């Protein structure tokens, strides 16, 4: 793309050429359709508009040094999409249909896949919504699956620098037996008071606690949390945390590096003992945490103003695999050719 200033792209929406859509009607999925419109016509009684029957995914396409376009663990995103949809009683596409739609959308918008080393990537957003009309609280009988893409700039314009986050005690993102483990739109609406509240006080995002006891660490804004100590990668285990594909990749890489891995409830008091802390997710891979502020006790946990050595090593390793600069020993990469 000749007109895009790849190095200064923001992390926001830019129109691309095409998106791909598929309709579920009369109990089955139709053909994939290509559209150049950014709009979708919806029935005013669609369950996606009223009852939150809406799920989505977030993934990226990376252009390697060889010019080839890579997808990272896209089948895991497909499986998570299916898990999300089935939990809220939606008809979800198969793994094959999901992957085909994603590859087709990337291919159709190939000119928007940023060049290697521009720091930018093509963000991929698959979404599914109940499109059938219902007025009672029940699942729709029709669904609309859409995949669109948009090129995004690097998450860290200022480099791989730690951010400060704030513990949240006065709002929950998800209930203990609720929808935190799936990627439905309602979770993100519920997460906004705490995220915006933290940002208004100058923090990058909030750190949620478990909804029941306010004793354990939960999600870190729209990312999973991890801490490092004694050559161990520790990440919270909870039903209200989204199973992050980045986190599961970092766990595998930490094991490859000979580190121990613990996935278990993490009490707030343990924050004191970590040598490094961070958030992880598709957008930034790792967001190192500099400070965690607990407003209730006016206490700050400080991990330093530079990213820790382990976080940096894991970050570099994962990015190298995503861009094809390191061997894909776990078979995570698929090509769009």
Residue 219 sits in the site that holds ligand PLP (CB under 6 A): yes
Residue 245 sits in the site that holds ligand PLP (CB under 6 A): yes
- Nearest residue (CB) to ligand PLP, 55 versus 108: 55
Q: How far is the CB of 67 from ligand PLP (least distance, A)?
A: 25
- Nearest residue (CB) to ligand PLP, 46 versus 223: 223
Query: Of 41-49, 210-218, 244-252, 263-271, which part binds ligand PLP (CB under 6 A)?
Result: 244-252
- Residues 40-59 contacting ligand PLP, CB under 6 A: 58
Among 242, 284, 333, 336, binds ligand PLP (CB under 6 A): 242
Q: Which residues are catalytic?
A: 183
Q: How far is the CB of 186 from ligand PLP (least distance, A)?
A: 12
Q: Judge whether 121 and 114 are in contact, CB under 8 Å.
A: yes
Residue 276 sits in the site that holds ligand PLP (CB under 6 A): no
Q: Judge whether 71 and 333 are in contact, CB under 8 Å.
A: yes
Query: Of 5-13, 40-48, 121-129, 242-250, which part binds ligand PLP (CB under 6 A)?
Result: 242-250
Residue 238 sits in the site that holds ligand PLP (CB under 6 A): no
Among 222, 227, 290, 324, binds ligand PLP (CB under 6 A): 222
Q: How far is the CB of 184 from ligand PLP (least distance, A)?
A: 10
Q: How far is the CB of 46 from ligand PLP (least distance, A)?
A: 23
Rounded Cα distance between 180 and 188, Å, is: 10
Q: How far is the CB of 327 from ligand PLP (least distance, A)?
A: 21
Residue 16 sits in the site that holds ligand PLP (CB under 6 A): no
Residue 178 sits in the site that holds ligand PLP (CB under 6 A): no
**C-alpha distances in angstroms, 72 versus 39, 122, 162, 256, 286?**
28, 12, 25, 18, 15
Residue 185 sits in the site that holds ligand PLP (CB under 6 A): no
Among 19, 179, 238, 246, binds ligand PLP (CB under 6 A): 246
Among 48, 130, 154, 281, binds ligand PLP (CB under 6 A): 281
Residue 219: half-sphere exposure toward Cβ, Cα within 13 Å:
29
Question: How many residues interact with ligand PLP (rule CB under 6 A)?
Answer: 12
* Binding residues for ligand PLP (CB under 6 A): 58, 219, 222-224, 242, 244-247, 281-282
């Amino acid at each position: 793309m000749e007109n895009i200033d790849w190095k200064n792209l923001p992390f926001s929406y830019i129109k691309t050429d095409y998106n791909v859509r598929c309709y579920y009607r009369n109990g089955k999925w139709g053909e994939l359709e290509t559209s150049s419109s950014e709009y979708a016509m919806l029935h005013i009684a669609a369950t996606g508009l009223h009852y939150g029957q809406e799920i989505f995914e977030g993934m990226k396409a990376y252009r390697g040094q060889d010019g080839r376009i890579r997808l990272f663990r896209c089948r895991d995103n497909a499986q998570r999409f299916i898990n999300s949809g089935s939990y809220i009683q939606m008809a979800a596409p198969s793994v094959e249909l999901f992957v085909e739609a994603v590859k087709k959308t990337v291919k159709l918008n190939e000119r928007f896949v940023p060049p290697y080393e521009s720091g930018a990537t093509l963000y991929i957003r698959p979404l599914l919504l109940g499109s059938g009309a219902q007025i009672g609280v029940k699942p729709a009988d029709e669904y609309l699956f859409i995949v669109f893409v948009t090129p995004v700039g690097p998450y860290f314009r200022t480099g791989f620098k730690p951010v400060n986050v704030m513990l949240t005690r006065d709002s929950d993102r998800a209930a203990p037996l609720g929808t935190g483990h799936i990627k439905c739109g309602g979770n993100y609406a519920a997460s906004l008071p705490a995220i915006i509240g933290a940002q208004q006080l100058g923090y990058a995002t909030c750190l949620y606690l478990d909804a029941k006891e306010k004793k354990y660490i939960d999600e870190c804004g729209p990312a999973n949390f991890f801490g490092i100590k004694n050559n161990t990668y520790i990440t919270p285990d909870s039903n209200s945390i989204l199973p992050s594909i980045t986190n599961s990749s970092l766990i595998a890489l930490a094991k490859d590096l000979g580190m121990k891995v613990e996935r278990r409830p993490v009490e707030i008091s343990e924050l004191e003992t970590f040598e490094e802390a961070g958030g992880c997710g598709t957008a930034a891979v790792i967001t190192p945490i500099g400070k965690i502020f607990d407003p209730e006790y006016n206490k700050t946990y400080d991990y330093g103003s530079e990213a820790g050595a382990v976080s940096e090593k894991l970050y570099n390793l994962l990015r190298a695999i995503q861009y094809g600069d390191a061997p894909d020993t776990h078979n995570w990469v698929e090509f769009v050719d």
